[in-house]
Amino acid sequence: MDSKLKPVAEALEALLQGVAMLDSERVPCDEAAGRVLAEAVMARLDVPSFDNSAMDGYALHHRDAGRRLPISQRIAAGSPVQPLEDGSCARIFTGGEIPPGADCVVMQERVEVTGDTALVPADIAAGDNIRRRGRDVASGSTLLEAGTRLEAAALGHLAGQGITEVEVRRRPRVALLSTGDEIVDPGQSLGPGQLYNSNRPMLRRLLERFGVTLVMTASIPDDPAATREVLAEAASQADIVVTTGGVSVGDEDHVKAAVESLGQLDLWRLAIRPGKPLALGRIPRRDGETRFVGLPGNPVSSFVGAWLFLRPLVGSMLGCPALVSLPEIPARSNFSTHTGPRAHYMRVVLRFDEQGPYAEAFADQNSAVLSSCIEADALAVIPPESTISPGDRVTCLWLRSDA
């Protein structure tokens, strides 16, 4: 395999080529948060389903504005209505149905009530304070597109239709494997040269946010046979196998050879910092093909690799465009830097001043410095062979969205 550094865009295109969307399943809406719709949902109701009042006040016909009117009925939200008697008004509350014959509502603060009559001001127009039937959703229209991720407002919208179940994509099954004899699980004591596994919980959280289900986690000893064995087991269970570490050029880096012996390595070594030794491949499985993503061991390299490669891969399997690409925000840099042959994905905080957004880079951008990721709102993309001075425009990939 050609071991020249691959541009990120090329690697991403190769990764996503031929990714099949997963099958779908029916789930109760109460359990559908974060899931991706497998088919469009059509509206079966107008929302609102009747013209109703946006205010607590009085409903009338606008030709009667400016006069003292008898109050002929009282309409609370949920109560039945009678046609409005000519030349009268109705006491009405927010959400109450507009009675036939009325065409506007005046808020109560503008009305002078004496006994069972109300003096309404003259400057009232037809339609004032009326929320029209179907204003939010028209029956028969597309309520939510296929590929929508069901977050707060979408879940509310489904409930607004009285819908209780939806067809969603199955969650991608992911096996998350850690390599490195020096890596120890929290709860155990550390020996000389050892460190705790910070990549696993970090990636678990990211992967869960992207919408997967984790079917296996394991630590692989630095041994070729063991690496092959655990990878084979993981590939038989998962749609995606993710490893961390063991993809560089050291004598103890056994992951690539194991993937090559079980399937194929499509790509290795990207023109990216951090994350250069990232490896992509596939391993055949009884019922299809498992995608392999080998993230470098340095925690920041794993973090950045997950956002740039795992998220789009998961998004493609789910058929969710919002997960396939990250929102891009143009911002001014408030730092200087220059790059060599690799694009630099710098962790930045986005701040705003009168001139718009600016990107403040974390001081230490080394790939082992995980603290640079904690406050990061975005990754500022500095293309290869470029020089950035304060005030220059940089493209930032937004990391804070739900989808």
User: Closest CB to ligand LQZAQKY5 among 301 and 316?
Assistant: 301
Q: Which residues ranging from 223 to 242 are in contact with ligand MOO (CB under 6 A)?
A: none
Does residue number 274 form part of the binding site for ligand MOO (CB under 6 A)? yes
- Structure token digits, residue 343: 């694009």
User: What are the C-alpha distances in Å from 236 to residues 120, 233, 269, 282, 327?
Assistant: 74, 5, 26, 12, 34
Distance CA 101, CA 98 (A): 8
User: What are the C-alpha distances in Å from 45 to residues 50, 130, 133, 328?
Assistant: 10, 19, 10, 36
Which residue has 């869960």 as its token pair? 208
Does residue number 99 form part of the binding site for ligand LQZAQKY5 (CB under 6 A)? no
Distance CA 14, CA 282 (A): 12
Q: Which residues fall within 8 angstroms of residue 168, CB to CB, at 6 or more apart? A: 24, 25, 26, 27, 32, 35, 36, 37, 38, 150
Applying CB under 6 A, which of residues 294, 296, 299, 312 lies at the interface with ligand MOO? Answer: 296
Applying CB under 6 A, which of residues 149, 273, 291, 311 lies at the interface with ligand MOO? Answer: 273
x/- letters, 83..122, toward ligand MOO (CB under 6 A): ----------------------------------------
Does residue number 298 form part of the binding site for ligand MOO (CB under 6 A)? yes
Stretch that binds ligand MOO, among 44-52, 122-130, 177-185, 267-275 (CB under 6 A): 267-275
Applying CB under 6 A, which of residues 245, 263, 312, 319 lies at the interface with ligand LQZAQKY5? Answer: 245
Among 380, 364, 383, smallest CA distance to 372 is for 364
Distance CA 35, CA 240 (A): 18
Applying CB under 6 A, which of residues 103, 253, 266, 377 lies at the interface with ligand LQZAQKY5? Answer: 253
x/- letters, 192..231, toward ligand LQZAQKY5 (CB under 6 A): ---x-xxxx-------------------------------
Does residue number 182 form part of the binding site for ligand LQZAQKY5 (CB under 6 A)? yes
Distance CA 239, CA 336 (A): 41
Does residue number 281 form part of the binding site for ligand LQZAQKY5 (CB under 6 A)? no
User: Closest CB to ligand LQZAQKY5 among 166 and 382?
Assistant: 382
**Interacting residues with ligand MOO (CB under 6 A):** 273-276, 296, 298, 301, 367
